[in-house]
Amino acid sequence: MQKRIMTVAAVIIMALALLTACGKAPTGDDGTKTGQPATAQPTDAPANVPTDAPTAAPTEVPTEAPTEAPTEVPTEPAEATDKPDDGSIDLEKLIDDSFGSIEVGSSSITLDVLSTYGDVAYFTLDNSQDFTLSFRISEYLPTENHQQVGILIAPDVRNLGLYGKFMRTFSGENVIEYYGTANSWNSPEGAGRTKDPFTDSDSIYMKLTAADGKFTFSASKDGAEWTVLDTYDVLFTDDLQIGFTGATFTSATAHAVFDNIQITYN
């Protein structure tokens, strides 16, 4: 019996020794425990985390600044006083003012001839330069005395201190009248008229040329071949008003259109 107890005690002692031995992990040469299980480390990065950084810069980024300034610089709108080289004009910009039963469009002037120069559309012309003004009178052929349509030339066309007058008119017959004056309606330096050579047409081209201190009046049927009517000295240096107008001086009425109006500076 005593022998059996000793055997059981020996087994318990061995079991305790084994348990004690299991609680102590052997150490390596550097003092670390070699038998302790290592803590598990993740081996893969999360799937949604990018693993590679971009290797190239974007290809669409401009690498050079512009080397040239824009070649087209906006220009300011032309003023009504501009002097076009080709003679073309916009009448709505050119005309300073108009009176009476007269209509001004961009390329024509229309008037009903009802009074004594009460219907007029005028513009100011710089007389410091030589110029040529040409125009056509259409839809008009006078039939009674004093019917007339054309231009007045004056420092103030409303006050009729005339320097000149150029009209298609009727005075016993169809004529073209042209006056050159010394700043007075009653003291003409020159006044003339010629038989209208184009009475087979209700249109006529007329031209006033100011050059070398003179007015020259010309007429044409087609605006291409011109007939010089007369030339007068111009005794003034002021700026001018040119008035497109018509008159009857009687109870007779008429209608007229000015178009093909051109101004060139020499």
What pLDDT tens digit does each residue of the chain (266 aa) get? 555 666 656 656 665 655 555 554 444 444 444 444 444 444 454 455 445 555 555 555 555 555 555 555 555 544 434 444 457 789 999 999 998 889 999 999 999 887 777 789 999 987 778 899 999 999 999 988 889 999 998 888 887 777 788 999 998 999 999 887 655 555 555 678 899 999 999 999 999 998 888 889 999 999 999 999 988 877 666 788 999 999 887 777 788 999 999 999 87
The pTM score is 0.66
d(C-alpha 75, C-alpha 20), whole Å: 103
d(C-alpha 189, C-alpha 191), whole Å: 7
By the 10 Å C-beta count (0-12 exposed, 13-18 middle, 19+ buried), 265 is classed as middle
Q: What is the identity of the amino acid at 248?
A: T
* H or E segment and range at residue 8: helix 2-23
Residues 6+ apart with CB under 8 A from 131: 125, 209, 210, 263, 264, 265, 266
- Using CA atoms, how far residue 73 sits from 67, 69, 170, 232, in Å, is 17, 10, 54, 46
Candidate CATH numbers 2.60.40.10, 3.30.565.10, 1.25.40.10, 2.60.120.200; the one for domain 91-265: 2.60.120.200
What strands lie across the sheet with 97-99, from one edge to the other?
97-99, 116-125, 240-247, 148-154, 164-170, 174-181, 188-195
**Helix (H, G, I), strand (E, B), or coil: what is residue 206?**
strand
First CA to last CA distance, the chain? 154
